[in-house]
Amino acid sequence: MKPGPFSRRLAALRRFASVLLRHPQSALGTALVFFFLILALFGARLAPYPNPNDQSHAPRVSPTLDIGALQVGEHPFGTDRLGRDVYSRVILGAGSIFRIAGLGTLISVLVGSAVGLYMGYRGGWFDELLGRVIDALLAIPALLLALVLVGIIRNLDFEIGSWQAELADNVVLLVIAVLYVPVVARVARSSALDIKTREFVEAAEIRGEPTYYIIFREILPSVIPALVVEASLRFSYAIFLVASLGFLGFGARPPSPDWGLMVNENRGGFYQLTPWALDFPALAIAILVIAVNLMSDGVRRAAQKGD
């Protein structure tokens, strides 16, 4: 019996993974991303002190981590000036950055590819109009647009517990989605322009297939590799953007264990007192950003080879 569609997809996935993991850099990047993902998912159970704002410890304890002697100690990354365990806070901080960057990217990819595919397939005035809007949006620096949007929404007063307040709390996530929709849409549009000239799309038109069928059933599968590449690239930028906004004070609000915020809170004069409270979250940001970049590099290579 010939392999069915399911096992065929499985084989394609296996091929993809093998190309991704063949290069040492992308294998390392992927491993690190998965490591952080585990921290993000099970942080509450992995952290020695699951409450990030537990101030019961002695303040300003130096890191007890001693790699040479293979000792972890009570506070591997030390405690900050308020007596919070830095190690636990770094672990707990992984969750928010993944949630915001990941969900933001996901929304932008879903919306962006739908919009882009429709633009590319439909063409005409719709494409023309939206194309200009996208061009305009792309001309604005991402960080600047994010700061403006966050600034406006943060300054609105909402009833506590209302849906508007809920929305304002997730403002960074939404900003990421809004920022990247045009970028993803442009990629999807150009791919759709290429695919729609293929004869199998014309065959579907001759059958009288509705637009949604042609877009999602005929065109989308061929565009997915390009979208996967774009998604991984967007994710790496989103991580960086979340950390940047946190550091600038526009992201999470104190006392949440956001990495960017932790760097911000412990700079200046405090750095002399507890340098470790800044160093470790900064290191976490750096490692994650580099890891995601290495991974997306590998994803691009694997997606190109896979086809």
Where on the chain is the footprint of other proteins (CB under 8 A)? 1-5, 8, 198-200, 202-203, 205-209, 217-218, 221-222
Sequence-ordered list of residues with C-beta below 8 angstroms from that of 206, at least 6 positions apart, any chain:
none
Q: Report DSSP state, residue 123.
A: -
Give the nearest distance from C-beta 118 to other proteins in angstroms. Answer: 15
Minimum CB separation of residue 30 from other proteins in Å reads: 24
Distance CA(126)–CA(110), nearest Å, equals: 19
Measured from the CB atom, the residue of 151 and 221 that comes closer to other proteins is: 221
Q: How far apart are CA 49 and CA 136, in angstroms?
A: 47
Q: How far is the CB of 2 from other proteins (least distance, A)?
A: 4
Nearer to other proteins, 8 or 253 (CB): 8
CB 229 within 8 A of CB 303: yes
Nearer to other proteins, 160 or 206 (CB): 206
Which residue number, 141 or 208, has a Cβ lying nearer to other proteins?
A: 208
Asked if the bond preceding 141 is cis, omega within 30° of 0, the reply is no
- The candidate with the shortest Cα–Cα distance to 188, out of 122, 113, 300, is 113
Give the nearest distance from C-beta 68 to other proteins in angstroms.
44
Q: What is the DSSP string of 219-248?
A: IHHHHHHHHHHHHHHHHHHHHHHHHHHHHT
The answer to whether the Cα torsion of 153, 158, 160, 163 is positive or negative is negative
221 and 246 Cβ atoms separated by less than 8 Å: no
Residue 230: CB minimum distance to other proteins, A: 19
Q: Closer to other proteins at the Cβ: 104 or 225? A: 225
As measured in angstroms, the least distance from the Cβ of 136 to other proteins is: 24
Question: Is the Cβ of residue 11 or residue 165 nearer to other proteins in the bound state?
Answer: 11
Least distance from other proteins to the Cβ atom of residue 217, Å: 8
Query: Which of residues 45 and 207 has its CB atom nearest to other proteins in the complex?
Result: 207
Helices (H), 123-257: 124-139, 142-154, 163-169, 171-195, 199-206, 211-213, 220-247
